[in-house]
Structure 1
């Protein structure tokens, strides 16, 4: 076998500056956590005394905010550990697990709040509107501060984005609660409390769906959302001297860290090393993929004869792969 593509470090070029930003991320998340925990304790007390479900739902939501930040911080710690033993990628996916857990807690909490809100729509209890209004206004201020803290951290991490979504939803929830409290105070319409809760539930479900979808894609080894593997394969096979690309896999190790592997067949007279360098260049500059493993070999004669114009086959060179995965990209006149 000619060149077995060399590896680049999992972080590509960004490896050096990352330590600093990870520490900064931890500080910002820690600050948001402190703000939220203190306020949440006060809010539970007021919510119980004022018998406001919207306030209690906000407090419950803040509890998951706090949990989501703790989870994010733990996941960052784990993800930063060097790869060793059986974990050859390290524990980078701990962050994706954390994002998935955040999505699930949002969904479960939403279901419980929806049930409670419907119950209160049917039989609304008396609500102390003034206490509810004051607490909601303070809640808005605390959440604006916490949202700002987290927006300073690196949100391209799905993990940090999970915590951010929790807190942003909470901010909307407080705005809803404040409006409901105003309605209760001015009109005495106590069902406003339950209606505000249902609006918050809708926002929670939307955020949960986004987190579960994105983390699910990474766990199922799907290609990054912005990469079309078919188009990528066609682009690689259109390069000079490349005859065929098969067993092409593109996946994400964790958010913002893509990896690619492929078997590339080169014309019998071609320079395998030059081709590999060229393809790595295309992947780095065109797709930002720096973690690549390319197995580059000279094509056998029968592969060249197989390359019928206009066809993309799904069975590769029978001599090489027991069962090639996915489409085989062949160099055909219409690709150029």
Structure 2
């Protein structure tokens, strides 16, 4: 008869600590993360209003484009701040894994919103390239410089939190990328203002707006791709399922076959796994289970797994599919 083994302690333990191959990631930093996100949100939202007014006043598309980006960043930081709080809720009857996936969903939504913003920036830049308009470069330079200071402060807040907790999750990484894009946008606006003051060449403003769009797209694609993979329950990108199966079969004594391997992620920091092991009838299943759990935790950072040990044919297999290895994604 097959036996299914799962450690309930893993599930409870996971809500307090994440144990991976690289160490311990404690959950007590969440209040600090929320404070950093809130401070960055207030800085970004406050200056977004100033920059939008300055862009309208000076006629600078670079400033207006950056203000539009900061508007979405204000939304993004607000969503990230809210997601950190929601993710702290304990599991309930309907959501037995808790609310950790909400942070991944927030990152995915933020990425999609940024795609819309880039489209708007490109549209306005194209109009300005064909119909250049005068820009008050002096006012633009002052506002862009103040914006740079505000963005540096926001970036330092969030980057400090990420450095303090090396394995920052996808939601907080997405928030940091938003602010980094704002910082680069302010630098581009300063350069555009200096070029216009020195040469009077107006096309530099929409051209740098296009550059801002490219920088946003580059970071946005990475966030959308990674969060989308998690939401689709794909296997982690750094996980080779065939190699994992081979390691278990060759390094754990008594394992004859590994099959029905499914690996996915609750969040990028919380990989989950289920698998079946076929063993000899006289195998000590408890000792084997302990060895498998230890290997999964130490080598792959998987601390929550369900392992079914079988001494005969797998009851879940069709005869023609017996022995095949499967992986989510």
Q: Partners in 2 of 1:281 and 1:54 — Cα distance?
A: 54
Aligned residues: 312
1:327 corresponds to which residue? 324
8 Å Cα contact 1:248/1:325 also seen in 2:
no
8 Å Cα contact 1:169/1:204 also seen in 2:
yes
8 Å Cα contact 2:16/2:27 also seen in 1:
no
Q: TM-score, normalised by structure 2?
A: 0.90
Secondary structure in 2 aligned to 1:91?
coil
Secondary structure in 2 aligned to 1:189?
coil
Q: Partners in 2 of 1:245 and 1:17 — Cα distance?
A: 30
8 Å Cα contact 1:58/1:174 also seen in 2:
yes
Q: Partners in 2 of 1:290 and 1:19 — Cα distance?
A: 16
Which runs of 5 or more residues in structure 2 are unaligned?
Answer: 19-23
Q: Partners in 1 of 2:249 and 2:100 — Cα distance?
A: 32
Q: Partners in 2 of 1:325 and 1:88 — Cα distance?
A: 31
Q: Partners in 1 of 2:29 and 2:325 — Cα distance?
A: 41
Q: Partners in 1 of 2:222 and 2:322 — Cα distance?
A: 29
Which runs of 5 or more residues in structure 1 are unaligned?
Answer: 304-316, 330-336
1:193 corresponds to which residue? 205
- Relative contact order (alpha carbons < 8 A, sep ≥ 6): 1 or 2 greater? 2
Deviations 1:208-243 (A, max 9, x none): 110110011101111212211110011111121001
2:93 corresponds to which residue? 85
Q: CA deviation at 1:255?
A: 2.3
The answer as to 2:243 corresponding to 1:247 is no
Q: Partners in 1 of 2:17 and 2:6 — Cα distance?
A: 21
1:14 corresponds to which residue? 17
Report which stretch shifted further, 53-62 or 218-227. Answer: 218-227
Q: Partners in 2 of 1:86 and 1:184 — Cα distance?
A: 59
Q: CA deviation at 1:30?
A: 0.9
1:4 corresponds to which residue? 5
The answer as to 2:237 corresponding to 1:228 is no
Q: CA deviation at 1:325?
A: 9.4
The answer as to 2:305 corresponding to 1:292 is yes
Q: CA RMSD in A?
A: 2.0
1:311 corresponds to which residue? none
The answer as to 2:112 corresponding to 1:115 is no
Q: TM-score, normalised by structure 1?
A: 0.88
1:314 corresponds to which residue? none
Q: Partners in 2 of 1:126 and 1:86 — Cα distance?
A: 58
Deviations 1:89-140 (A, max 9, x none): 1121111111101111111100110010011011111100001111111111
Q: Partners in 1 of 2:83 and 2:70 — Cα distance?
A: 19
Q: CA deviation at 1:20?
A: 2.5
Q: Partners in 2 of 1:143 and 1:247 — Cα distance?
A: 49
Secondary structure in 1 aligned to 2:260?
strand
